[in-house]
Amino acid sequence: MANLLIGHVFVKMFKTKALIRLTSLVAIIAWVILVFSDVTVIYSDLKSLPPDIPTWLPRLMLDIFIVSLFYHYKFRIERDESLNFTDLLWKVFATGLIATVVSLAVRLVLFLLGNTTLASNILFMDIVYQITLALFINFLLAAFTSWKRLILYQKSKWLIRAWLVFELLLLSILVYDSIHIVISETITTLAIVIIGLLGLVLSANMRWVAYLNFKQKWTSLLLLLLSIFYLFYFLYSVTMWSDQISQQSKIFLDFQSHVFNIALLAFVLTYMTFSFLVILFNLPTSSVFEQKLEEVVNFQRISQSIQTEQNEESVYNILLESSVSSVFADAAWLEIKGRENEQRLFTHQITEKETKDIHAHLEKNKVKGALEQNSDKTKNLSKHLGSLKSTRFRSLLAFPIKVKEETIGTLALLKELPDGFNKEMTRIVSAFANQAGISIENFRLMEEAFQNARYKEELKIAKTVQKSLLPAKLEQDADFEISAFSASADEVGGDYYDTLRISDHEIALIIADVSGKGTTAAFHMSQMKGIFHSLAQQGPSPKDFMAKANKALVYCLERGSFISATYFVINTKTKKIHYSRAGHCPVLYYTTSTHQAAYLKDRGTALGMVRNNDYCNFVEDNEFPYATGDVMILYTDGITEAKNNKNEEFGNDRLAQALQQNATKSSKEIEESVIEKLYEFSGSEDINDDYTSMTVKFR
């Protein structure tokens, strides 16, 4: 598709180039025929012979010459989008310059020839005349096409139609000229009057002038002036030659009898003169226009600043600069109440001390609401500055800056002149202040969005941290096998399990659940891991472990946060399990001898709930023997509290049942069956809490 498009553009470019060449070739051929035919006609006239060629041929050739040149410029100038106003004028000027230089060269040749017979030969004079006329028409058509673009710069339907009528009328005149039949004097006059009026009306379209800046205006004036000069030079030359020739022959191609040429000349000259005058008179006001343009650019800068700038400060600085440059203020300052209500001051060409002086002065004079943050009206406070001697400023203008209907700051502009601000300036700066308010609001909204994104990113990191805190490998022993399962919900929870070998016959196990979610949960979980790995190594009794862990955790758990945990030490020598439960879900234990799965009964308070040494009174040491085939399941409340679509909980009974039915299998298989039951029950893969379990099978 893109290739096709590019291809199309290439073909079009190629076509345009070919057309430009073709039209110039046609024009040259037509002109050559024109010259020969005209010379022949004059020659026959001089010798009073009937001409070999029809007398209308020169006129026809002239028409072809004009039409092909017209199209030549249409393709060269009208279709070229890259040309701006001064480029167009330059094209006209350049064509005029080349034509003039060529014409002058011809004159030089004539001068060198002196008073020879050739120079006074009428046929030779005709050739010279034809050359000059061709150059002249060339120049006129180039100007005509350029004027068309300038006139149609801001098109309207009406304007396009008027122009079309104008061109058609010109064409009809051209045809009328060549057939050389006088239809009626009145019709001819009427046509000329209509063309003249239409030309005048069209010439009034000068909107492009307003878009020129000061420098471009000067350039345009110069180009136009020189073009007018060329025009008059050619007019003079062509008239001179034709007068000389007409003294000897009457039937040569006299441009003065060619209405089209006259009409074209009149139009080109009129528009040239109009443009020149309009630009000239627009020169003094061009600075105003440029000022307006700069305001628009400044405005854009403020509104774009949120996309490109890194912080609010840039918005403030742009606002300050833009306002100062738009109203020619001598100094300015900007007071802003930041997001944390802190006051900030931005100054331009004024010291902080001066602003404080002015502040103090206004306060002393009880100027109400002048620079107060909650003033919602733009105020011209110039009159109050008159009484402040220490300042060089005599005009002051203050504007509120609002974000979400709340005034967050004040923009103050100062001038050394008294009454330095007019209504226009007030309006402009007020618009700036409004725009800045919007920009700041947008900026703050964006910042919030960033914060949210950052929070999400943080959660992601927390989740990775949480995952990495869980052991990759669990301690195994000849006496038992352990498998573990963990699945987490979208939110980061704080489920933790781990194993550690204390000695060749003692292995420590832990399962814990940190209250709360998110990054803090992951953080507390990592603390729990640290405590487990450092304390368990020393082989304390489970109760001792809990007491020490509680002591350590009290310092880092905030009020209301706690960790529930169960800590086990499996002794393979004595075949006993020694454990302590601190607020965690009761242990599910399957005894092979009775074929019963039951929850161990004991008491214990979660870590972090009791913040003093009394804690050891709230946890117990428990001990019981294990036998081959026994199974122990450690889990978190996510499993027992998992809900189905009827809002029922999975519960302790279903868990115990699942274990009892699968107790003879390996630890991995038991775990898989339990998880399968769980998912079957909840009826969905989406979990709303963390599922964590650790299954120990003794052998």
Residue whose CB is less far from another protein, 348 or 611: 611
Dihedral angle of Cα 319, 323, 324, 327, to the nearest 10 degrees: 180
Residue listed under structure tokens 């440029």: 290
Residue whose CB is less far from another protein, 239 or 688: 688
45 touches 251 (CB < 8 A):
yes
Smallest separation, CB 514 to another protein (Å): 9
Comparing CA positions, the residue from 134, 149, 139 lying closest to residue 94 is: 139
Spatial separation of the C-alpha atoms in residues 484 and 691, rounded to whole Å? 11
Question: Could you tell me which stretch among 169-177, 304-312, 313-321, 607-615 binds another protein (CB under 8 A)?
Answer: 607-615
Residue whose CB is less far from another protein, 400 or 516: 516
Smallest separation, CB 330 to another protein (Å): 54
610 lies in the site for another protein, by CB under 8 A = yes
Comparing CA positions, the residue from 677, 586, 564 lying closest to residue 632 is: 586
Residue whose CB is less far from another protein, 430 or 520: 520
Spatial separation of the C-alpha atoms in residues 238 and 253, rounded to whole Å? 12
641 touches 649 (CB < 8 A):
yes
Comparing CA positions, the residue from 257, 231, 208 lying closest to residue 139 is: 231
Number of residues that bind another protein (CB under 8 A): 24
119 touches 110 (CB < 8 A):
yes
Residue whose CB is less far from another protein, 195 or 606: 606
Comparing CA positions, the residue from 143, 150, 327, 153 lying closest to residue 228 is: 143
Smallest separation, CB 606 to another protein (Å): 5
CA dist 132 → 70, 237, 641 (Å): 18, 7, 104
Comparing CA positions, the residue from 484, 454, 480 lying closest to residue 467 is: 484
Spatial separation of the C-alpha atoms in residues 549 and 563, rounded to whole Å? 10
Give the pairing of strands 406-415 and 395-403: antiparallel
Smallest separation, CB 617 to another protein (Å): 9
Spatial separation of the C-alpha atoms in residues 640 and 691, rounded to whole Å? 9
| Binding flags for another protein, 571-590, as an x/- string (CB under 8 A) | -----------xxxxx----
| Binding flags for another protein, 633-652, as an x/- string (CB under 8 A) | ----x---------------
561 lies in the site for another protein, by CB under 8 A = yes
Question: Which of 145, 435, 483, 515 is close enough to bind another protein by CB under 8 A?
Answer: 515
492 lies in the site for another protein, by CB under 8 A = no
Question: Which of 286, 605, 667, 693 is close enough to bind another protein by CB under 8 A?
Answer: 605
Dihedral angle of Cα 164, 168, 173, 176, to the nearest 10 degrees: -170
Burial of 171 (0-12, 13-18, 19+ CB in 10 A): middle
Spatial separation of the C-alpha atoms in residues 564 and 607, rounded to whole Å? 6
Give the pairing of strands 343-348 and 331-337: antiparallel
Spatial separation of the C-alpha atoms in residues 587 and 264, rounded to whole Å? 107
Question: Which of 517, 654, 677, 697 is close enough to bind another protein by CB under 8 A?
Answer: 517
Residue whose CB is less far from another protein, 159 or 554: 554
- 642 token code pair: 């998992």
Residue whose CB is less far from another protein, 477 or 637: 637
H-helix or E-strand spanning residue 557: none
606 lies in the site for another protein, by CB under 8 A = yes
Q: How far apart are the first and last CA of the chain?
A: 72
Residue whose CB is less far from another protein, 421 or 615: 615
| Binding flags for another protein, 406-445, as an x/- string (CB under 8 A) | ----------------------------------------
Smallest separation, CB 633 to another protein (Å): 15
Residue whose CB is less far from another protein, 332 or 585: 585
Q: Which of residues 147-186 bind another protein (CB under 8 A)?
A: none
Smallest separation, CB 603 to another protein (Å): 6
634 touches 509 (CB < 8 A):
yes
Question: Could you tell me which stretch among 99-107, 292-300, 438-446, 603-611 binds another protein (CB under 8 A)?
Answer: 603-611
| Binding flags for another protein, 41-80, as an x/- string (CB under 8 A) | ----------------------------------------
Question: Which of 153, 176, 233, 618 is close enough to bind another protein by CB under 8 A?
Answer: 618
Residues 654-664 as b or e (16 or more Cβ within 10 Å = b):
bbbebbeebbe
Residue whose CB is less far from another protein, 496 or 562: 562
Smallest separation, CB 303 to another protein (Å): 39
228 touches 273 (CB < 8 A):
yes
Smallest separation, CB 604 to another protein (Å): 5
Residue whose CB is less far from another protein, 227 or 515: 515
Rg of the Cα atoms in the chain: 49
CA 53 to chain CA centroid, Å, is 69
564 lies in the site for another protein, by CB under 8 A = yes
Residue whose CB is less far from another protein, 525 or 582: 582
Residue whose CB is less far from another protein, 507 or 619: 619
516 lies in the site for another protein, by CB under 8 A = yes
Spatial separation of the C-alpha atoms in residues 122 and 129, rounded to whole Å? 10
604 lies in the site for another protein, by CB under 8 A = yes
Residue whose CB is less far from another protein, 153 or 618: 618
Smallest separation, CB 658 to another protein (Å): 20
Question: Could you tell me which stretch among 386-394, 403-411, 548-556, 559-567 binds another protein (CB under 8 A)?
Answer: 559-567
**CA angle, 354 as apex, 352 and 356 as ends, to 5°?**
70
Question: Which of 562, 567, 635, 650 is close enough to bind another protein by CB under 8 A?
Answer: 562
Smallest separation, CB 605 to another protein (Å): 3
Question: Could you tell me which stretch among 148-156, 234-242, 558-566, 673-681 binds another protein (CB under 8 A)?
Answer: 558-566
Question: Which of 125, 549, 609, 656 is close enough to bind another protein by CB under 8 A?
Answer: 609
Residue whose CB is less far from another protein, 354 or 513: 513
Dihedral angle of Cα 540, 541, 543, 549, to the nearest 10 degrees: 20
Residue whose CB is less far from another protein, 356 or 603: 603
Spatial separation of the C-alpha atoms in residues 437 and 337, rounded to whole Å? 12
Contacts with another protein, residue ranges (CB under 8 A): 513, 515-517, 559-562, 564, 582-586, 603-606, 609-611, 618-619, 637
